[in-house]
Amino acid sequence: MTMSEAKPELLDTIPYVWVADVKQAIPFYRDKLGFEVEFEFYWVSEGARYGLALMNRDKITLHLRVCECGDGRHTGTSFYQVLMKGIDALHAEYEQAGAKILFPPTTQDWGVRDFQVEDPEGNRIYFFEDV
């Protein structure tokens, strides 16, 4: 099979989390959710203010992103699902750190145990593991 005939393989996804201010959003993701900042970058182009921070924890990567460019993007509208292992330990960690937990770990009829957190701008992350 040649390179052009190779079967496509999706390797990862890195979602944008739209925030009003990247510098103000970083402490929540770092201090409450345990993500590390890989890098931050800020710039202005044609009068619009931009910023991003690449945040990592284990195999999960998020881009905190701001764009004051008038294109209709809104903060607090993101919802992400994270498949994981060790959900009760993660919940305890987040509870200890003071993260806003919307509901505690719950075993659902459809075969998962889950809980959900919300950042200060209303973006939500749904953590779940198979049971």
Q: Is residue 40 part of a domain?
A: yes
Higher local confidence (pLDDT), 6 or 121: 121
Separation of alpha carbons 101 and 8, rounded Å: 38
Q: Is residue 38 part of a domain?
A: yes
The DSSP call for residue 45 is E
Q: Are 125 and 107 in contact (CB under 8 A)?
A: no
Q: Is residue 123 part of a domain?
A: yes
Cα 50 → chain centroid: 18
Q: Supply the CATH number for residue 23's domain.
A: 3.10.180.10
Asked if residue 131 has pLDDT above 90, the reply is yes
Domain carrying residue 48: 12-68+75-130
What's the pLDDT tens digit per position in 7-38? Answer: 878 788 899 998 989 999 999 999 999 999 99
Q: Is residue 4 part of a domain?
A: no
Cα 127 → chain centroid: 11
What's the pLDDT tens digit per position in 41-88? Answer: 998 888 778 899 999 999 999 999 986 766 656 677 889 999 999 999
Q: Are 77 and 121 in contact (CB under 8 A)?
A: no
Asked if residue 1 has pLDDT above 80, the reply is no
Q: Is residue 2 part of a domain?
A: no
Segment holding 73, helix H or strand E = none
Q: Is residue 58 part of a domain?
A: yes
The pLDDT, as a whole number, for residue 2 is 59
Number of domains composing the chain: 1
Model pTM? Answer: 0.84
Alpha-carbon dihedral sign for residues 108, 92, 119, 66:
negative
The pLDDT, as a whole number, for residue 69 is 60
The pLDDT, as a whole number, for residue 12 is 84
